[in-house]
Amino acid sequence: MADEPQLTAKWDAQLRKGTLELAILAALKGGKLYGLELLNLLHTHETMKITEGTLYPLMDRLKRDGVIDAEWHQEGDQRPRKYYRLTQAGEEKLTHLAARWRKSVEDIEFLLTKARFVKPSEG
């Protein structure tokens, strides 16, 4: 396929749009992270490479929605860092979204491996 890199990039972008919130909540499940730390963690995964311009507006929305909380910490002489963590509502949302993700993967895996096309009967 001649346009495979372009198709892959488009697919990754669409997949990221649908799963980024789940990925962020999952990343925060392990504990609080500051913004750049979270961005760097996401960048360790090929399909989760996003910009700060994508991350921070989403973090603001998640905070407004009450699924994450944020607080500033001063660490020595460094500039203050804003740390994000899951709230109880965030943990509940993560559980729900993770279940939906797993169901979606299961459904797609079935279609990829076991589904057979059945022609409607001509009658």
Instruction: Report the first-to-last Cα separation within the chain, whole angstroms.
Output: 40
In a domain, 108, yes or no: yes
What own/partner pairs with CB < 8 Å and gap ≥ 24 does 59-63 have? 59/24, 59/35, 59/84, 62/21, 62/24, 62/25, 62/90
Count of the separate structural domains present in the chain? 1
Task: Output the average pLDDT for the chain.
Answer: 90
Give the whole-angstrom CA distance, residue 30 versus residue 24.
11
The tokens of 57 are what?
A: 């507006």
Q: What is the pTM of this model?
A: 0.84
Q: Tell me the average pLDDT across 51-77.
A: 95
In a domain, 5, yes or no: no
Q: Minimal CA–CA distance to 93: which of 20, 22, 30, 44?
A: 22
Q: How many Å is the Cα radius of gyration of the chain?
A: 19
Share of the chain above pLDDT 70, in %: 93
Domain of 56, CATH number, reads 1.10.10.10
Residue range 15-26, pLDDT digits in tens: 888 899 999 999
In a domain, 7, yes or no: no
Domain membership of residue 43 as a residue range: 16-112
In a domain, 118, yes or no: no
